[in-house]
Amino acid sequence: MINEFDTITAISTPPGEGAIGIVRLSGDDAITIADTLYQAGSKNLKDVPSHTIHYGHIRNPKTDEIIDEVMVTIMRAPKTFTKEDVVEINCHGGVVSVNRILQTILQNGARMAEPGEFTKRAFLNGRIDLSQAEAVMDLIRAKTDRAMDVALRQLDGDLSNLIRNIRQIILNTLAEVEVNIDYPEYDDVEEVTTKLLKEKTMEVQGHVEQLLHTAKQGKILREGLETAIIGRPNVGKSSLLNRLIREEKAIVTDIAGTTRDTIEEYVNVNGVPLKLVDTAGIRETDDIVEQIGVERSRKALMEADLILLLINQSETLAEEDKELLHLTQDMNRIILLNKSDLAPQVSVDELAEWSSPENVITTSMLEQTGLDQLEKQISEMFFAGETGEQDATYISNVRHIALLHEAQEALAEVISGIEMDMPVDLVQIDFTRAWELLGEITGDTVQDELLTQLFSQFCLGK
Ligand code: GDP
Ligand code: ZN
């Protein structure tokens, strides 16, 4: 195995006051560095067998100061997650201790790992393919069961298989074109070849289009819907939130492996993670309209994927309600006519000026009614007509989406090239480019491979 990597390190446990913390090292010097800091009589970590755990202390070799009592796991390449030497230091002293151990490791020759770098190495060292590496990231970050399913499917290689099938169509076509050019059997070979190319390009376009179609939902499942709960004071915003939370739907997540210092609040609605935005600025304020005037809140509001606007239907519409209705008019918005257990003063009809009736829901946080409908409406809004497709492979990764778009452009070039009567070998270049771009999703693309595969296709076909 060729290994040109330096040794990386990071804290592997979530931030916060956990009982234990784990600092992980990976790379050629992982064991040597750990041994420099480790102290347990005369034991030398360099001599211990692989996949064993050792009790001892971590000591700063420069100051001789003992930092914490630890358990150190030694795992030698290649049977590790990264296929490199891996050391995990389990300490139990909370955040401060974990950080001090990390600092000491950094002072002794390791480098801070970039987000996802352990997984990246697993890929680079051939343990998993690229989309699977990305699935690992998604799994770490998954906020709901449904998001977890999407990632698991990807880890299974579902997406890889879809992409490989599409690429195979391109490859077969290119091989056939090659044959036609090299061994023209008919007079109208140009025409036949062009026709084939166009047909196949359109077929591939269809497949890529379908994958892109799932991208928006995939992104929502993965990253959550940025949701703002707004309404004037006392309409029931906190009650709504509490209802959602009480039904075991609140999830507090940190994005492990990325920004270790952010903790975000998620609520799981029917498998759709709602990420509650700017909770302090918008949700809890006495003067909501004035607050939205504050730029930070306005920005958060405007960037939200979903607005839940509460109105107290037991009172006539206030000027503030109308302002909020107006302000959020063009956004994805669901209006909750709350407090339906009290005598109504506002009707759905009255809101016709601002909203179509299907986006108005009558609720009572007191009697717990209307929440099912709210969930249904959210699914409808973002997964229109596709709620049943639990089996679908969702594209959820920004890099994949970008590559699919680029592939789509290359395919469009093929079509326009054909329509402009460009020579077939020029058109082929764009088709090959689409093949390469798709291969970048799985990390398969290597120019040599194209040649080898083309050749094998060629032999097989003729
Ligand atoms: P917020 O200021 O918008 O967060 O409103 P709260 O959720 O704090 O609710 C304000 C008051 O209205 C509280 O006393 C709630 O119990 C009450 N409330 C909330 N929802 C309902 C409802 O559907 N019906 C009735 N009758 N009272 C409600
Ligand atoms: Zn409140």
Using CA atoms, how far apart are residues 337 and 160, in angstroms rounded to an integer?
46
Residues 136 and 119 sit within 8 Å (Cβ to Cβ): yes
Domains annotated for the chain, with CATH where assigned, are: 8-127 (3.30.1360.120), 145-214+396-461 (1.20.120.430), 224-382 (3.40.50.300)
More confident position, 200 or 290: 200
Give the Å distance between the CA of 244 and the centre of ligand 1: 14
Q: How far apart are CA 437 and CA 164, in angstroms?
A: 12
Length of the chain: 462
Residues 447, 450, 453, 454: is their CA dihedral positive or negative?
negative
Distance 214 CA to ligand 2 centre (A): 36
242 CB within 6 A, ligand 1: no
231 C-beta closer than 6 A to ligand 1: yes
Report which ligand 1 atom has the smallest distance to the Cα of 338: 23
pLDDT per position as a tens digit, 135-148? 666 666 666 666 66
Identify the residue with better confidence: 237 or 253. 237
Whether the ipTM is more than 0.90: the answer is yes
Does the C-beta of 281 come closer than 6 Å to ligand 1? no
297 is an annotated ligand-binding site residue: no
The partner residues of 39 in beta bridges, in order of sequence, read 57
Pocket of ligand 1 contains residue 366 by CB under 6 Å:
yes
pLDDT digits (tens, 9 = 90+) for 411-457: 999 999 999 999 888 899 999 999 999 998 887 765 445 444 443 43
258 phi and psi, to 5 degrees? Answer: -115, -105
CA distance 54 to 38: 10
Distance CA 107, CA 73 (A): 21
Tell whether residue 262 is among the known ligand binding residues: no
Q: Is 256 annotated as a binding residue?
A: yes
Contacts of 226 (CB under 8 A, 6+ apart): 275, 277, 303, 304, 305, 306
- State how far the Cα of 317 lies from the Cα of 243, in Å rounded to an integer: 24
Please indicate whether residue 432 or residue 268 has the higher confidence score (pLDDT): 432
Predicted local confidence at residue 133, as pLDDT? 65
370 Cα: distance to centroid of ligand 2 (angstroms): 19
